[in-house]
Amino acid sequence: MSNIAIYPGSFNPLHIGHLDVIHQGLQVFDKIILLKAVNPNKPEYLNKVGRFEIIEIIKHQLLYFGKERNRIKIDETEGPIYKYCEEHDIHHIIRGLRDSADFNYELTQRQYNKQLAKDLAGGYLNTVFFVTDKSQVSSSIIRNLAGILEKDEFGLAVKDKLNLDPSNQIERKFLAKLWRAYQ
């Protein structure tokens, strides 16, 4: 069995809470696949071009990990998580927890994925939880800020939450693309 885990999510956008979970996951797993997945319970805010731009931003944000970046792969799926795991022979899912509400939701998802993997794929699927101390940030808060702030205000308001610096020309362009995506 390989020591690879997937970290599924919409990552819309990827923020410091996600980066914290990836960092913790790299302490346990040899490789993490950051799986940009479609959640049927969440509205899709971006079109195909917007999703591509988000992945480009994520690739840039992952430079934060330096050489460890080589242990992180980005992939996408529109299908069920357990199916992706079966197709890629992956037996571990990592999930981040901010609070008890996250725990209750994720525990249900864990049971669902584990049962489907067993019943439909004949395999074993384990979920490993990592508690993040970045509980003050969520993707929905960032999207809401984009809707109420001007572009430059948005960059300053979310720079620490996204690990992007508006004084850096490349990162300022990413922040502007992100702001436009949520208008």
Encode pLDDT of 124-143 as tens digits.
889 999 999 877 788 889 98
pLDDT of residue 20: 93
pLDDT of residue 65: 85
pLDDT tier for residue 47 given thresholds of 50, 70 and 90: low
Task: Tell me if 88 is assigned to some domain.
Answer: yes
Task: Tell me if 156 is assigned to some domain.
Answer: no
pLDDT of residue 54: 76
> When comparing pLDDT for 154 and 39, which is higher?
154
Q: Find, among 56, 118, 127, 59, the residue nearest to 97 by Cα.
A: 127
Say which CATH number the domain at 60 has. Answer: 3.40.50.620
Task: Tell me if 148 is assigned to some domain.
Answer: no
Mean pLDDT score of the chain: 86
pLDDT of residue 84: 93
- How large is the average pLDDT for residues 41-66? 73
CA distance 72 to 161: 20
pLDDT of residue 128: 96
CA distance 158 to 153: 9
Angle at 126 between CA 112 and CA 161, to 5 degrees: 85
Task: Indicate whether 112 pLDDT > 60.
Answer: yes
Task: Tell me if 79 is assigned to some domain.
Answer: yes
Task: Tell me if 144 is assigned to some domain.
Answer: no
Task: Indicate whether 45 pLDDT > 80.
Answer: no
The range of the structural domain enclosing residue 10 comes to 4-135
- Would you state the structure tokens that stand for residue 66, as one six-digit string? 């330096």
Domain count, the chain: 1
Task: Tell me if 117 is assigned to some domain.
Answer: yes
Task: Tell me if 51 is assigned to some domain.
Answer: yes
Through-space distance between the first and last CA atoms of the chain, rounded to whole angstroms? 44
> When comparing pLDDT for 69 and 5, which is higher?
5
Residues 155-175 pLDDT 10s: 999 988 988 888 888 888 888
How many CB atoms are located within 10 Å of the residue 14 CB? 27
Q: 3-state class of 130 per DSSP?
A: strand
Lowest mean pLDDT among 40-49, 64-73, 148-157, 164-173: 40-49
- Alpha-helical (H) ranges within the chain are 16-26, 48-61, 81-87, 100-121, 139-148, 151-162, 169-181
Task: Tell me if 171 is assigned to some domain.
Answer: no
Residues 5-24 pLDDT 10s: 999 998 888 899 999 999 99
- Would you state the structure tokens that stand for residue 88, as one six-digit string? 């890629």
CA-based diameter of the chain, in Å? 51
